[in-house]
Chains A and B, each alone.
Chain A
Amino acid sequence: MNGNGRGLIELDDLRKVYDTGKTTVEALRSITLTVRENEFVSIMGPSGSGKSTLMNIIGCLDTASSGSYRLKGEEVSDLDRDRLAEIRNQRIGFIFQNFNLLPSLTAFENVELPLLFKGAPTRERRERTEHLLGQVGLADRMKHRPTELSGGQMQRVAIARALACDPDIILADEPTGNLDTTSGKDIIGLFEELHHAGRTLVVITHDQAIARRTKRIVHIQDGLITSDGPALQG
């Protein structure tokens, strides 16, 4: 199933330069990459190679210094902040290494947050949130705060939150980096389910075992793609 659909994400000669005043860092140097609908891609590379930078640009959290980024055919590299916020809200689901749940809110409220920003009516928010928490196996933890949950449970809340507004694509930046092996496997299992349900996923990982369970692996080094091909199923 190596992505026969049309290009969902199309990056063309994308560059990102960080200018810190004293020095300039070329975090991305000419990235050209296409991800089609229902692909399950892992991005690998050593620390500092530009993986997170790439992910943030794909996730519309950041903008490239030059080059083009088309999301479902729409050029997004020159949109304003509020338009980008709308895209993040409705078309992108972000999953972080450190979960990034709001500690003062319950699991339910954390998952509900994107729906609030979208302006969904109360009833829809409740039904959707309950459904998603059930789907990730946390129907009985809705009233719990993040501190009352395990790492694996927190990441599942984060996945439910990423799915809240039914995004076009799910991006995960080292989602198992803070988890023990068992919890990590659970999370990848959940990703596989999502992939089989037709979703598109891009996952950054250090873990060979995880990368092998995706369908396509992209290697990055020093801001350049060094290899891109089907994962060797093991």
Chain B
Amino acid sequence: MVLRNYLRQFLRDVRTQRLRFFMTLFGIVWGTVSVTLLLAFGEGMHRKMAADAKGLGENIVICWPGRTGKPWQGLNKGRAVRMTEQDVERLRTEVPDITAIAPEYSTGSARFVVGKKTLVPYLAGTWPEYADMRSIIPDSGSRFLNATDMERRRRVIFIGHKLKADLFGEQEAVGAGIDIEGTPFLVVGVMQPKGQDSSYRGRDEDTGYIPSTVFRDMFGRTYIENFVFQVGDPTRVERAKKGIIAAAARKFKFDPEDKEAIGMWDTTEMTQFFNTFFMAFRLFLGIVGALTLVVGGIGVSNIMHVVVEERTKEIGVKMALGAKRRTIMGQFMFETFAITLLGAGLGFLITAAICGGFPAQFNQYVGTPRLSLQVSLVTAGVLGAIGFLAGWFPARAAANLNPVQALKYDL
């Protein structure tokens, strides 16, 4: 009943203060849309970048055996560290933090022939577990390399989706053949398209993968180009890196402090950078948005001061009839929150509509804007605080009026 009275009062104010009310409402709507939309875009971009970074692989480190950079126990610096598949296999048992590891042979000069087409894309030889680490997912109805391929040295190949399009166009590739340097290969899989923002040779979409055993025989290789390992728990990556170097240092006799013997690209450093960057970015967007909201809040406070002024007489009458301070304050706080709530609700709806109707063709550039629960809660909290502050001072001014003076007041 009290609330119904407040509501009626509020609607009457809206009627008598129409223009001012809509300007105020607009301020809050604008502020809410700014905050939520900025943060939604920030969130969308962060997610897209995180997904793209995952395209290279999650928590992976790529390692290139290089040359020693320091003399060690009477041995010169500048010695090549050359690793075989067996060395890689040994690392798996010697460094327990590692959850997966795979070597890679690669070449950029093998000719692929399909019918009359000839291409020279990237060719890599690796192990089956490579795919999971590198976020390589086979398209439906196809597969990556498997253990039997390895054992039996089958001439099978898995290709990136762009390489597939270049070689086969619209035609089915799985089950078809490719001639590589004169040797016939059977296509067993095509990669599902994925976002990938960085790479260390060609992109996966342009690469063909064959079993390492086949690669070794075909190209007469003994030593691998590089290897990739993954650590399940990102906080153990540093320890795993040290473990790899220590194990290799024992085997190849170099200084465990030697940074050049095995070159490492730790992709988790990039993820950390992204996280820090986006934290700062979001903070910036949040502050910009919050300031817009504060401006809206000042508008609300302003209109409430006018409402109090116009209703001075009424406040006097209510006081004479026995309204207490909190009754008077409650009325004005209610109105402030009603405006804020209405504006915020509209703002959220607009943002939701923009996020929902965001054209898909822009997704690859800025990601999909996303109104997360966290963003919504923070915005709602800021709005609540602004509503409270905007209402508090006019409401207190109203409750502190002298009843006799207020009763004398006439418009």
Residues of A whose CB lies within 8 Å of any CB of B are 56, 59, 61-62, 81-82, 85-90, 94, 96, 100-102, 104, 109, 113-114, 116-118, 122, 125, 161, 165
Give the CA-CA distance A104 to B321 in the complex, in Å. Answer: 16
**Option from B1, B9, B313, B322 in Cβ contact (under 8 Å) with A86:** B322
A117 near B325 with CB under 8 A, answer no
B322 near A90 with CB under 8 A, answer yes
Number of A-B residue pairs at CB separation under 8 A? 64
Given that A117-B327, A122-B1 are known contacts, is A102 also in contact with B317, CB under 8 Å in the complex?
A: yes
Add 9 more A-B contacts to A62-B403, A104-B12, A116-B1 (CB < 8 A). Answer: A62-B402, A62-B404, A85-B323, A85-B325, A88-B321, A94-B321, A102-B318, A109-B5, A161-B321
Give the CA-CA distance A104 to B16 in the complex, in Å. Answer: 11
**Option from B321, B402, B404 in Cβ contact (under 8 Å) with A117:** B321
Give the CA-CA distance A114 to B404 in the complex, in Å. Answer: 18
CB contact list, B302-337 vs A, under 8 A: 313-314, 316-325, 327
B323: chain A residues at CB < 8 Å are 85, 89, 117
User: Closest B-chain residue to A100, C-beta based?
Assistant: B317
Give the CA-CA distance A88 to B407 in the complex, in Å. Answer: 14
A113 near B318 with CB under 8 A, answer yes
User: Closest A-chain residue to B327, C-beta based?
Assistant: A117
Would you call B373 an interface residue if the criterion is a C-beta within 8 Å of the partner chain's C-beta atoms? no
B317 near A114 with CB under 8 A, answer no
**Option from A82, A96, A165 in Cβ contact (under 8 Å) with B324:** A82
Interface of B is mostly: helix
B320 near A94 with CB under 8 A, answer yes
Would you call B377 an interface residue if the criterion is a C-beta within 8 Å of the partner chain's C-beta atoms? no
B322 near A118 with CB under 8 A, answer yes
CB contact list, B1-37 vs A, under 8 A: 1-2, 5, 8-9, 12
A104 near B9 with CB under 8 A, answer yes
A117 near B322 with CB under 8 A, answer yes
A94: chain B residues at CB < 8 Å are 320-321
A88 near B322 with CB under 8 A, answer yes
Given that A61-B407, A100-B407, A104-B9 are known contacts, is A117 also in contact with B324, CB under 8 Å in the complex?
A: yes
A176 CB, min distance to chain B CBs, angstroms? 19
B7 CB, min distance to chain A CBs, angstroms? 12
Give the CA-CA distance A104 to B325 in the complex, in Å. Answer: 21
A28 CB, min distance to chain B CBs, angstroms? 14
Residues of B whose CB lies within 8 Å of any CB of A are 1-2, 5, 8-9, 12, 313-314, 316-325, 327, 402-404, 407
B322 near A100 with CB under 8 A, answer no
**Option from B8, B313, B321, B403 in Cβ contact (under 8 Å) with A114:** B321
Complex A-B: 9 CB contacts under 8 Å: A59-B320, A61-B319, A62-B403, A82-B325, A85-B322, A89-B322, A94-B321, A113-B321, A117-B318
B316: chain A residues at CB < 8 Å are 100
A162 CB, min distance to chain B CBs, angstroms? 9
A116: chain B residues at CB < 8 Å are 1-2, 5
Give the CA-CA distance A96 to B404 in the complex, in Å. Answer: 12
A81 near B325 with CB under 8 A, answer yes
A85 near B9 with CB under 8 A, answer no
Give the CA-CA distance A101 to B313 in the complex, in Å. Answer: 10
Give the CA-CA distance A100 to B312 in the complex, in Å. Answer: 12
Give the CA-CA distance A109 to B321 in the complex, in Å. Answer: 13
B8 near A85 with CB under 8 A, answer no
B9: chain A residues at CB < 8 Å are 104
Give the CA-CA distance A105 to B150 in the complex, in Å. Answer: 88
Give the CA-CA distance A232 to B267 in the complex, in Å. Answer: 106
Give the CA-CA distance A146 to B407 in the complex, in Å. Answer: 17
B1: chain A residues at CB < 8 Å are 116, 122, 125
A99 CB, min distance to chain B CBs, angstroms? 10
A118: chain B residues at CB < 8 Å are 322
Give the CA-CA distance A78 to B313 in the complex, in Å. Answer: 25
Give the CA-CA distance A82 to B328 in the complex, in Å. Answer: 11
B406 CB, min distance to chain A CBs, angstroms? 10
Give the CA-CA distance A117 to B326 in the complex, in Å. Answer: 11
B313: chain A residues at CB < 8 Å are 100
User: Closest B-chain residue to A161, C-beta based?
Assistant: B321
User: Closest B-chain residue to A101, C-beta based?
Assistant: B317
A130 CB, min distance to chain B CBs, angstroms? 16
A61 near B327 with CB under 8 A, answer no
Give the CA-CA distance A104 to B14 in the complex, in Å. Answer: 13
Give the CA-CA distance A162 to B289 in the complex, in Å. Answer: 51
Give the CA-CA distance A82 to B404 in the complex, in Å. Answer: 15
A103 CB, min distance to chain B CBs, angstroms? 9
Give the CA-CA distance A59 to B402 in the complex, in Å. Answer: 14
B74 CB, min distance to chain A CBs, angstroms? 93
Give the CA-CA distance A86 to B323 in the complex, in Å. Answer: 8
Given that A56-B404, A62-B404, A82-B325 are known contacts, is A100 also in contact with B2, CB under 8 Å in the complex?
A: no
B325 near A114 with CB under 8 A, answer no
A89 near B321 with CB under 8 A, answer yes
